[in-house]
Amino acid sequence: MLYSQTVNKLEALRLEGMIQALEEQRRQPDIVQLDFEDRLALLVERQCLWVENRGLATRLKNAQFKITASLEDLDYRSSRGLKRAQIEQLRASPWVKEHRNCLVTGPTGSGKTYLACALGAQACRESYSTLYFYAPKFFRALESARADGSLFPWLKKLARAPLLIIDDLGLASVTGKLYREFLEVIDDRQGQGATLITSQFPVNQWHEIIADPTVADAILDRLVHNAYRIELKGESLRKGKTPPSENEP
């Protein structure tokens, strides 16, 4: 009866990890060899792990990454400008903590989406909430939010995200007004969060993409300053033998 009451109270406190560990301990005959403090430490450790895992699962789900990706599965053998030392520099997500940006450019199929999602997933593991958007869908969502009156709360949500990923900038035609609102997004995030952008176009061609010179200058001034730059090259990874995990959509 005492055990059932204890479990009920742990459930009321939402200590699911501790409940799981307690049940495991009850199935281990030799657990009695440990003193009270050691057994309690195991329970607390399991609860902490459970909270961390639940938080990670929530961050990954909310990020809505296009593909499942991991830095551990990156392929450095191809001659495409991917440098292990640079990725290791980014691995622990210090750039997210420092509110710096990361710009990934390269031809179609070079692995930009995979790398962006891998860096985003790693940021989630480092406890940073992340939002991923495919650029054409991002601008459609921006336009819809403006039309239905939800633009202001949506902009606030974007501003609060520790990491914002915009994948394939320049792929679709975007009006100048939407780019001005995109500038507002970038401006709100300056000094508040990190932004990762991928594009098939080199950064020095982004002025042509944005069209409005004044808006383009303002966006690039906020994005490029102190940004990490990764310039991928080479033929598409889709050609020939491609590792399934790193096949960029």
pLDDT in tens, 128-183: 999 999 999 999 999 999 899 899 999 999 999 999 999 999 988 888 889 999 99
Full domain range(s) for residue 69:
65-246
Q: What is the pTM of this model?
A: 0.83
Express as a percent the part of the chain with pLDDT over 90: 57
CB within 8 A of 159, min separation 6: which ones? 185, 188, 189, 192, 193
User: Residue 244 above 50 pLDDT?
Assistant: no
β-bridge partners, 130:
163
* Same domain as 79, residue 36: no
Whichever domain contains 122, its CATH number is: 3.40.50.300
* Same domain as 173, residue 147: yes
Per the structure, how many domains does the chain have?
2
User: What is the 8-class DSSP label of residue 221?
Assistant: H
Mean pLDDT of 89-96: 94
222 CA to centre of own chain: 20
Q: Of 61, 84, 101, at which residue does a domain stop?
A: 61
* Same domain as 52, residue 21: yes
Per DSSP, the three-state class of 194 is strand
* Same domain as 223, residue 189: yes
Q: Give the tens place of pLDDT for each residue, 175-210.
A: 888 999 999 999 999 999 999 999 999 999 998 888
Contact 145, 154 (CB under 8 A): yes
Q: Give the tens place of pLDDT for each residue, 28-65.
A: 888 878 888 888 888 899 888 888 889 999 999 999 99
